Amino acid sequence: MPPRSSRSAVSVDVLGSTAVVLETMQQASTAVSAVPFLGAIIGSTLSLVQAAQKVKTDRERALRLAKRAADLVKHIEETIAVDPDASDERLKTNLAELLQTLKRISFDVEKQTTKKFWSRLLHQSSVSGMLDGHTDSLDAAWRSFDTICLIVLQQKLERQLQLTREQNQTVQEQAMYDRDQYRLFRLDDVNLQAVRGIWVKGDITMGDEYQGEWQGRAVVVRRLRGAATNENPAAMVTRYPRLFHPHIAQVFGYSHPAVADRFYVMETGTISIASYVKDKDFLEKLRHPLRMIVDYADTFFYIRDSLLKKEDTFSHCGHDKCMTSITLRNNGKLVLAVEDVANSRFDCMYGHMAKLSSSEGASTCIASALTVGRHATDERFVCQTSETRRAGRPCAIRCTGY
pLDDT tens, 259-291? 889 999 999 988 877 777 777 776 776 677 778
Distance in angstroms (rounded) separating the CA atoms of residues 328 and 130: 96
Query: What's the pLDDT score for residue 117?
Result: 53
DSSP classification of residue 372 = E
CB 121 within 8 A of CB 70: no
Largest alpha-carbon pair distance within the chain? Answer: 141
CATH architecture of 183-267: 2-Layer Sandwich (3.30)
**Which segments of the chain have a pLDDT < 70?**
1-14, 113-126, 172-173, 202, 282, 285-286, 308-325, 350-402
DSSP for 240-264, please give it: S-----TTBPPEEEEE-TT-SS-EE
The residue ranges of every structural domain in the chain are 4-174, 183-267, 273-394
Query: What's the pLDDT score for residue 212?
Result: 94
Query: What's the pLDDT score for residue 385?
Result: 37
Q: How far is CA 161 from CA 148, 165, 167, 216, 328, in A?
A: 20, 6, 10, 42, 50
Residues near 361 by Cβ (< 8 Å), separated by ≥ 6? 282, 390, 391, 393, 395
